Amino acid sequence: MNKQQQPSLNDLYSKDPIAADKIIWGRRSSVLNRRGFLTSSGLLTMSAALGMTIPFARFMPAGLIPVAFAADNAQQIIAGKNDLIILNDRPLNAETPAHLLDDEVTPNARMFIRNNGNPPENVDPGNWELEIAGESCLRPISFSIDELKARFETVTLQLQLECGGNGRSEFVPATSGNQWTTGAVGCPTFTGVRLRDVLNYCGVAQDAVYVGYYGADTHPSGNPDLDAISRGVPIAKALERESLIAWAMNGEDIPFQNGYPLRLVCAGWPGSVSGKWLKRLVIRDRVHDGEKMAAPSYTVPQLPVAPGSRVPDEDMRIIESMPVKSLVTFPQSGTSHDFRQRLTVRGHAWAGDNQISAVFISSDFGATWLPTAVRPAANRLAWQHWQSWVQFPEPGYYEIWARAMDDQGRSQPMVVPGWNPRGYLNNACHRIAVQAV
């Protein structure tokens, strides 16, 4: 096998993590004991590769690639964005490394990019119009951006958006789509008008079921008769106080790649329901049937399935509220730290339509968990900040894991949750590597 054909560490673990343990860390004999943990010979090999011991190795699950080896820090330049990692450029999709999401309010330059089509060209906000129509719209009308600003109350809210496929890269077997790690999430402030104020002005019929959107982006094929994406939300979600038609992000024009000059923001649900380059809203008397509303797009199995299964479209359900999740934003994974000193650890947590009730951290591969201090959200559907510290007992390799719980008592799983065909809704504990010296 030549060098170009040799699989990477991530490739091996994505195909069969248990086999990867044997290939990477062992030789002829098995490297796993009866409890599923690495044996002493496998641990010696892993420790040598890390260049340090692993004090809590007895708790380390089999098939778990050390975070220190899993990171891919290749970054490219995107206009107006700082240090985002490009996953795809046709169309453009890029995520933000976890440590660059440490700000309480996500800066414009560090907001991830998720495009389904080609952004519009020659955007003129002065002549931009938003049409409101649909079977259940009693008074169809169009608004300019200036008319929206003049006619309706302007509000500013901090709102969390996360791609439904965030964390897809961890599913085994691998699923198709952009291989997001942890960075397809952000929580900036958005300024605009409440969607419900606009819909009520136009009249919502009693048979209204859904609100769908259409944007000015074009299909990747270039075919003008095809929509890149046209999704939406049930009428109850559309009428929430936090659902916005926004023109500003963090007090500035929305960045072009994030939907300038107008976008929909329905936080807490997959980012795909928050249409960018917004041109048309339709009040529907049925579930919206736009592009990427039907399975398998943005849907998951109604019942658990075996990894790698083929699931009929009729057995899928549309993703709505996102699951509970957390992110370690400080320190940066791979950092070195004096083991005699406490290490501050902090990050964010969110839970779709719900609130966070607690966040715990572990430095011994989940054997024990310590509570953190969690701050209230700036407003409903904003993420919450947490902070704590750890004290390492001796030098060596450690991983810090974060696990959040929502106000319904639902907690993040320690490992990747149930497999689904498109790799959605991975809310496994976030892990970072620390070298205590």
**For the ranges 55-69, 146-160, 166-180, 383-397, which has the lowest average pLDDT?**
55-69
pTM: 0.87
In a domain, 74, yes or no: no
In a domain, 79, yes or no: no
Same domain, 21 and 144: no
Same domain, 313 and 342: no
In a domain, 387, yes or no: yes
Phi, psi of 294 (to 5 degrees): -85, 155
Phi, psi of 100 (to 5 degrees): -90, 0
In a domain, 77, yes or no: no
Same domain, 300 and 337: no
Pairing of the two strands 299-301 and 278-284: unpaired
Q: Which helix (H) or strand (E) holds 17?
A: helix 17-25
Q: Which helix (H) or strand (E) holds 197?
A: helix 195-202
Same domain, 190 and 55: no
pLDDT at 15 over 60: yes
Distance CA 87, CA 78 (A): 12
Cα–Cα–Cα angle for 418, 420, 424, nearest 5°? 95
Closest CA to 209 of 287, 111, 302, 303: 287
Same domain, 303 and 216: yes
- What pLDDT score was predicted for residue 13? 74
In a domain, 75, yes or no: no
Domain CATH number, residue 342? 2.60.40.650
Same domain, 161 and 308: yes
- What pLDDT score was predicted for residue 81? 87
In a domain, 142, yes or no: yes
Same domain, 293 and 350: no
Domain total for the chain?
3
Tell which of 294, 318, 342 closes a domain. 318
Same domain, 274 and 193: yes
In a domain, 70, yes or no: no
Show the domain range for 371. Answer: 325-436
Alpha-carbon distances, residue 169 vs 235, 307, 358, 416, 434 (angstroms): 33, 14, 26, 10, 22
Tens-digit pLDDT profile for residues 223-270:
999 999 999 999 999 999 999 999 999 999 999 999 999 999 999 999
Same domain, 110 and 188: yes
- What pLDDT score was predicted for residue 80? 83
Distance CA 138, CA 150 (A): 22
Tell which of 293, 318, 343 closes a domain. 318
In a domain, 16, yes or no: yes
- What pLDDT score was predicted for residue 10? 66
Pairing of the two strands 278-284 and 129-133: parallel
Domain CATH number, residue 123? 3.90.420.10
Same domain, 101 and 245: yes
Tell which of 261, 293, 318 closes a domain. 318
Q: Which two tokens stand for residue 256?
A: 């072009």
Same domain, 348 and 307: no
Same domain, 206 and 264: yes
